[in-house]
Amino acid sequence: MILDGKRVLVTGGTGSLGATVVRALLRGDAGRPARITVFSRDEAKQNDMRLSFLNRPAATDEVIYANLRQILHFRIGDVRDYPAIRAAVEQADVVINAAALKQVPSCEYFPIEAVQTNVLGAGNIVRAIRESGAHVEVVAGISTDKACKPVNVMGMTKALMERIFAEANLECPATRFVCVRYGNVIASRGSVVPLFLDQIAHGGPVTITTEEMTRFLLSLDRAVETVFAAIESARAGETYVPRVSAARIVDVASTLIDGRGIDITVTGVRPGEKTHEIMVSEEECHRTISRGEYYVILPMLPELRHQEPYTPVLTSEYSSSEVNLEGAALRNLLAPFMETR
């Protein structure tokens, strides 16, 4: 499998997505790596993560326990710190960049901090590979639908990360830089689902910003599958976009409330928030193709495009405004989270 024998570095490895990536790596979902390094600046989260993997009671988790003891390593550091990320990159064959400031309001109030992590951090990874001569085979950058036609700082900085990694293919031709872009990951920190469940547990009200708001929804496991698919199949400069469903946030709230007498309150749109998210813009449609279960946005830079002909698969933007997740289908998607309330 693609990651057999590879040294994998996961920046932001203690975050919601990063931790799920690490768990999948320990299970061997994409092969058995020679080494997995969790790189993050939070020593408490690293310690909690280590202990959670060591204290798995179920027999099916023995693989994770054994692989943790053999191949999982933790490294304190910040992508903002060039010497720290360079030292980590020099020992990696594959880099998954999940380090990010991703809370939309926080990025609006602290835009320089978002730039430092999301933009300059990505630049530090590229610089580390270029200047150290590290033999990194592939770098996968974790982006977001907010990077498409961005209106907020978080999306703007992620859009720049995408462009930095695309151009890096010209600077570091021995390394393949690719990106993945997706929407709201249901169980991640900052997702509306954990917030709604907490509000329901306290008797409400459940707060939504506007009744018109829609979002793409996918599970953490689906997000990780997209990362592994891009590492395996994406060509230099390509962006992988999963085909996922979209729902109205008010419907998500109503489904989780599940008939209980809990009110829904409209609070107004937060700073930098979109009503609808877009995963592929109108401008990107003409260079978007289909590959398996994914849309693939071909790189903007002509030097990175392959010469064989292709047929675009989209004629308009891929937007969450095209709601296709309602009723029983939405309930089935949210059922695992409703069961834990």
Whole-number pLDDT of residue 66:
75
33 within a domain of the structure (yes/no): yes
pLDDT band at 185 (very low <50, low <70, confident <90, very high): confident
- Percentage of the chain beyond pLDDT 70 is 96
Residue 188 above 90 pLDDT?
no
pLDDT at 270: 80
* CA distances, 138 to each of 33, 179, 231, 265 (Å): 14, 10, 7, 45
Domain of 174, CATH number, reads: 3.40.50.720
Q: Which residue has the higher pLDDT, 189 or 269?
A: 269
Give the pLDDT mean for 99-112: 94
CA angle, 293 as apex, 236 and 188 as ends, to 5°?
85
Quick check: 64 pLDDT over 80? Answer: no
Q: What would the pLDDT profile of 34-59 be if each residue is shown by its tens digit?
A: 999 999 999 999 999 988 887 765 54
**Mean pLDDT of the region 278-303:** 96
* Residue 326 falls inside a structural domain: no
The domain total for the chain is 1
DSSP string, 76-145: E--TT-HHHHHHHHTT-SEEEE------HHHHHH-HHHHIIIIIIHHHHHHHHHHHH-----EEEEE--G
Residue 57 pLDDT = 56
Range of the domain at 72: 7-183+220-243+278-315
| pLDDT, average across residues 256-266 | 93
Eight-class DSSP state of 29? B
In a domain, 306, yes or no: yes
**Nearest Cα residue to 243 out of 287, 283, 291:** 291
- Residue 273 falls within a domain, yes or no? no
* Residue 321, domain member (yes or no): no
Domain contains 103? yes
Grade residue 190 by pLDDT with cuts at 50, 70 and 90.
low
Q: What is the pLDDT of residues 121-140, one digit of tens each?
A: 999 999 999 999 999 999 99
Q: Which residues carry out catalysis?
A: 146
Q: What is the pLDDT of residue 273?
A: 82
In a domain, 309, yes or no: yes
Per-residue pLDDT, 60: 54
Instruction: For residue 184, give both structure tokens.
Output: 């709201």
Evaluate whether residue 89 is within a structural domain: yes
Which amino acid is residue 133, in one-letter code? G
pLDDT of residue 56: 63
Instruction: Indicate the helix (H) or strand (E) that contains 44.
Output: helix 43-54
